[in-house]
Structure 1
């Protein structure tokens, strides 16, 4: 099986910078990501390891909730509270009985995957409002992107081109013509970290941080891949919640780490051919183990 370093090299990750039309992004690879994996200490418990609150999925798209929860748990958190719609909760508990479905303290929120904001149900809307007022870091996807306007908490948004186009009033072609510039402009306008999904995933922070992750194979262009990415990122933010509270500038590095882990797990699941999102998720722990052991070093 190829090492993470080999997968990174094949992706073109050895380039010094990636140039957009007006922005320069620094490649963020396995060696960088390894520094942002929280390894449990012997005296940690389920609370000190990070508690992630999740409101994702809907009656129309319950699978989005399953994929995000699955990805978060495979990335590593002490506890996950799933507080979305009841139909999605049934699917989540059937797949992951360790998920907790009662409210309580959380250290980060993952919101919006698999949710159409035009058909938001009352339960989900109330949970969104509670999360926005909680003050803890928020990972916003799909149907929750507008929550950035309702919170003072640290925020990272994870749109694809179409979602960013809808949220900004631009066309998809305008976003696609220079995604690096689009991510940077939106980060500055919204005061949020932006992870713009694509073959090259551009991460821009309002502090001026600019990273690009390019470890994903083209086979990753499949339904549900973004749901898994949200789960990975939510787990990383929850396990670094204290650090984010002290320095929100940690969010761009965590977002780039999520993109690297997501892409490398996809490469491992693919093996050069088609993949499923659950196959990608199953590959996440092995990728993290390599990162932690140092096998993700570019020089390995």
Structure 2
């Protein structure tokens, strides 16, 4: 499992360690790991050309010390000092002693000379801003970031890509056509992951993330990202003498005469979700379509261990009655799509008798749910701070919230946050959310908590998306549905 810690937590853990270690030990550990990664990316260090983008403080120091190690192995290393008066003195001395070069930003002709060096580089190391930075890149760093983007060098970020918020992954808007953050091929992060490396848009700037152990012992993480083994431990497995009812029964209230396909897709996914049986509750015509596609489904009301409600139910009076009936059953419930729109009208009080709820909005639906809490927001605002808004919704509705998007963020009412690492842009297709609803709802009925069902459902759904889009071919929600057994097998066979 990947764990991420906030800037405050990292700073405290660093301070505790520096109090008992010789001065400079942590920086040397970080620089050593950084240099090893860069050497591996270069392949042949001797004769290679490396450019360091060096800001003020320790982040720039890490880059300078790593550059010195590469210079001692025969690389041509040039450090572009963006804050010459505040460059790390020890790191700069080490680089020069190893045969490296430096060019201060206040030197005559700096912009042109810096861009020539970047254009000729095999590797560029981004040591401009560390985890304490706030706001986007400013001149001359923004111009250099643009030059780096146009060059062919491998880009390695030191701890975090400059311009990315370490705690949220937020990236400021582009100003005057210049990049506000520097995009990396590889990010070498120290001690622990930072949330901004795992959540878009920051995750998209980070590239491949390599973790270097420098001995930190931080407290409980603020964010987690599951891996195969974590999911395999949570997934339900039937015991030798288990019957279908003991495995859990999911009630599914999905689809309408206008949107029958939502019910068919959600039903198909639910049958791969680990529950023992499925009851479809809805219009007869839709039930007939569900039975035609999935004859193992029971149609009609009955006892269930959990409900999934919302996909394609529409938002008229009949849909309101369907949602009210589900919430009155006092079993765990997953609410999605149209169900979320209706829930937002009533606000959190509609869930007061529900023993556990999982809400699965996309950003637009999150805006509606926030309005149900009396909070104004925008889709862009939600997408820029996925962690913060997911937490607010989870606290406000006393429910687990699975906020869908390029990075799916899951927050529970206690403030714990998970991100899903398996997503793919190919899941942005009609009906994909219905598949996620059926799958996660079945996991809920099988006995997983709302948070466990969300984490496992999102993980398997994302993995199925990758399998369905094998070799980069576009896929449909039905393709994702058919790939679910393969995703389940891949996780449990790992």
User: 476, 489, 492: which is aligned to 1:276?
Assistant: 476
Displacement of 1:87 = 2.5
- Root mean square deviation of aligned Cα: 2.1
| Equivalence for 1:298 | none
Distance 1:140 1:17 in 2: 30
Match of 2:113 in 1: none
**Equivalent of residue 461 in structure 2, options 241, 251, 262:** 262
Is 1:157 the counterpart of 2:359? The answer is yes
1:30 is displaced (CA, Å) by: 2.0
Alpha-carbon separation, structure 2, partners of 1:292 and 1:229? 19
- Residues 52 and 277 (structure 1), Cα distance of their counterparts in 2 relative to 1, 3 Å cut: same
Matched, 1:101 2:299: yes
Which residue of 2 is the match for residue 36 of structure 1?
Answer: 234
Size of the aligned set, in residue pairs, is 270
Specify the alignment match of 1:181 in structure 2: 388
Q: Aligned-pair distance for 1:96?
A: 0.5
Q: d(CA) in 2 for partners of 1:274 and 1:24?
A: 35
Q: Which residue of 1 aligns with 2:417?
A: 210
Match of 2:487 in 1: 287
Q: Contact 1:16–1:26 at 8 Å: present in 2 too? A: no
Counterpart for residue 167 of structure 1? 369
Alignment partner of 1:130 is 2:325: yes
- Pairwise CA distance, 1:89: 1.2
- C-alpha contact (below 8 Å) 1:225/1:277 kept by paired residues: yes
Deviations 1:250-290 (A, max 9, x none): 32222011100000011011102211111111111122123
Match of 2:338, SS state, is helix
| Larger RCO, structure (CA 8 Å, separation 6 or more) | 1
- Does residue 255 of structure 2 align to residue 57 of structure 1? yes
Offset, 1:77: 1.8
In structure 1, C-alpha distance between the alignment counterparts of 2:475 and 2:242, rounded to whole Å: 35
The SS at the match of 2:272 is helix
8 Å CA contact retained: 2:253, 2:313: no
> Who is 2:310 aligned against?
112
Match of 1:251 in 2: 450
CA distance in 2, matches of 1:193, 1:172: 20
SS at match of 1:203: strand
- The superposition leaves residues 93-115 of structure 1 with CA deviations (integer Å, 9 ceiling, x where unpaired) of 11001111121110000001112
Q: 1:142, CA displacement in angstroms?
A: 1.5
Of 257, 267, 272 in structure 2, the residue corresponding to residue 74 of structure 1 is 272
Instruction: Return 146-155 or 179-188, whichever deviates more.
Output: 146-155
Deviations 1:107-141 (A, max 9, x none): 00000111232x242xx444322321222100000
Structure 1: tracts of 5 or more residues without a match? 1-11, 245-249, 296-300
Contact kept, 8 Å, 2:254 with 2:311, in 1: the verdict is: yes
The Cα of 1:174 is off from its aligned counterpart by 1.5
Cα separation, 2, equivalents of 1:16 and 1:92: 44
Q: How does 1:134-149 map to 2 (within 5 A)?
A: 134-145=329-340, 146=343, 148-149=348-349
Q: 1:247 — aligned with what?
A: none
- For residue 194 of structure 1, the aligned residue among 401, 410, 413 is 401
1:46 match: 244
Task: Answer with 1 or 2: which has the greater Rg.
Answer: 2
After TM superposition, what 4+ stretches of structure 1 lie above 4 angstroms from structure 2? Answer: none
**DSSP 3-state at the match of 1:54:** strand
Q: Point out where structure 2 has 5 or more consecutive residues left out of the alignment.
A: 1-186, 202-220, 372-376
Alpha-carbon distance, 1:224 to partner? 0.5
Compared with structure 1, are the counterparts of its residues 232 and 157 closer, same or farther at alpha carbon in structure 2 (3 Å cutoff)?
A: same
TM-score of the aligned structures, taking structure 2 as reference length: 0.52
Q: Contact 1:18 / 1:212 at 8 angstroms: preserved in 2?
A: no
Secondary structure in 2 matching 1:105:
coil
Alpha carbons 1:16, 1:27 under 8 Å: kept: no
More helix by share: 1
